[in-house]
Amino acid sequence: MLETWSLRVLVEVADRGSFSGAAEALTMTQPAVSRQIASLEHKVGVALFRRVPRGVAPTAAGTIAIDEARAILGRLAGMEARLGAFAELRTGHVRVSAFPSANTEFVPEAIRRFSELYPGVDVSLVVAGWRDIRSGGVDVALVTDWDTVDDDGVSVVPLLEEEHRVVLPATHRLAGRTTVPLRELRGETWIEGSHPDCLGPLEGLARALGGPPRIGFTCDDWTGKQALVAAGTGVTIMSTLAGSAVRPDLALRPTSPALPRRRVLAAVAPPEVRSAAASAMLTVLTSLAARYH
């Protein structure tokens, strides 16, 4: 196997026309350059240079070797430049996934900040889960502590802790309360959502209500859930992460007792295999999460 350094010496001798000139350019001694060329000639089994009055000139085989060496060194330099662009975040791609309430404000703001900092890196918001990190389907997956991430190949980084509120029609009899006693909602119809944007641990809610919640509707979409509440069909629960997305004809109120808090986490590849773009997105998310503490 030929060494990259030998190819570099070969090209330098060809460019300088002498061993001494190549030695000066490469900060080597002339005998060291001569040994490199002799070793290379021994490996390929053919002479690469012939002596001329003022130095050396390539043989026919040497001309072919020099052309190939230039091409190889050029490709290596191109590879280094392209990989350097990834490391320096001048190019690349980062894929993010999140649950709906995080996508109402938190994730869009993180994408905006990231794109301002690293305009050369493409950002995608994908439908995926933390299990897709190993396969490369997603680079940063937002999850909650209601999920169990049990893969040694996935790291979990805490971002923020959020509270939950009950969502009532603005005309509801309890909408004017500063804090809504959950026992007074025992007879209400509840609107369930998809995990993790759901009613949360139902056992705790049942204890606070004094009985299991009567779930009349299930809707995965935040807009649809709010429309159902506004229509007076039931009440639901919303995380404070999505609080800015509440319709003006709804009332978002804390409860007594307080609903379970929820931690939002970022699932990513371990640091030793994590891409520079994923690390940068994690930094942006962590910085933005400080606003929610």
Residue-by-residue pLDDT tens, the chain, 293 positions = 788 999 999 999 999 999 999 999 999 999 999 999 999 999 999 999 999 988 999 999 999 999 999 988 888 877 876 676 667 788 889 999 999 999 999 999 999 999 999 999 999 999 999 999 988 899 999 999 988 888 778 999 999 999 999 999 999 999 999 999 999 999 999 999 988 989 988 888 899 898 999 999 999 888 899 999 999 999 999 998 888 888 999 999 999 999 988 999 999 999 988 999 999 999 999 999 988 76
Does the residue 82 lie in any domain?
no
Asked if residue 182 and residue 250 are part of one domain, the reply reads: yes
Q: What is the pLDDT of residues 128-142, one digit of tens each?
A: 999 999 888 999 999
Rounded Cα distance between 128 and 140, Å, is: 10
Does the residue 79 lie in any domain?
no
Instruction: Please provide residue 263's backbone torsions phi and psi, each rounded to the nearest 5 degrees.
Output: -95, 135
Query: What separation in angstroms does the CA of 285 have from each of 20, 113, 289?
Result: 56, 9, 6
In 3D space, the residue among 243, 244, 182 whose CA is nearest the CA of residue 213 turns out to be 182
> Domain limits at 29?
4-68
Rounded Cα distance between 11 and 2, Å, is: 14
Rg (CA), the chain: 32
Residues 6+ apart with CB under 8 A from 122: 92, 93, 94
Domain of 129, CATH number, reads 3.40.190.10
Does the residue 254 lie in any domain?
yes
Does the residue 78 lie in any domain?
no
Asked if residue 284 and residue 238 are part of one domain, the reply reads: no
Inter-residue contact 28 to 83 (CB < 8 Å): no
Does the residue 42 lie in any domain?
yes
Asked if residue 238 and residue 95 are part of one domain, the reply reads: no
Residue matched to tokens 């629960």: 237
Domain of 58, CATH number, reads 1.10.10.10
Asked if residue 248 and residue 118 are part of one domain, the reply reads: no
Rounded Cα distance between 33 and 153, Å, is: 47
Rounded Cα distance between 221 and 218, Å, is: 9
Question: Residue 293 has what pLDDT?
Answer: 64
Domain total of the chain: 3
Token duo for residue 56: 């050396």
In DSSP notation, 239-290 reads: EGGGGGG--TTEEEE-EESPPPPEEEEEEE--TTT--HHHHHHHHHHHHHHG
Question: Residue 134 has what pLDDT?
Answer: 87
Asked if residue 57 and residue 105 are part of one domain, the reply reads: no
SS3 of residue 90 by DSSP: coil
Question: Residue 32 has what pLDDT?
Answer: 93
pTM of the model: 0.72
Question: Residue 78 has what pLDDT?
Answer: 76
Asked if residue 148 and residue 94 are part of one domain, the reply reads: yes
Asked if residue 268 and residue 156 are part of one domain, the reply reads: yes
Asked if residue 170 and residue 157 are part of one domain, the reply reads: no
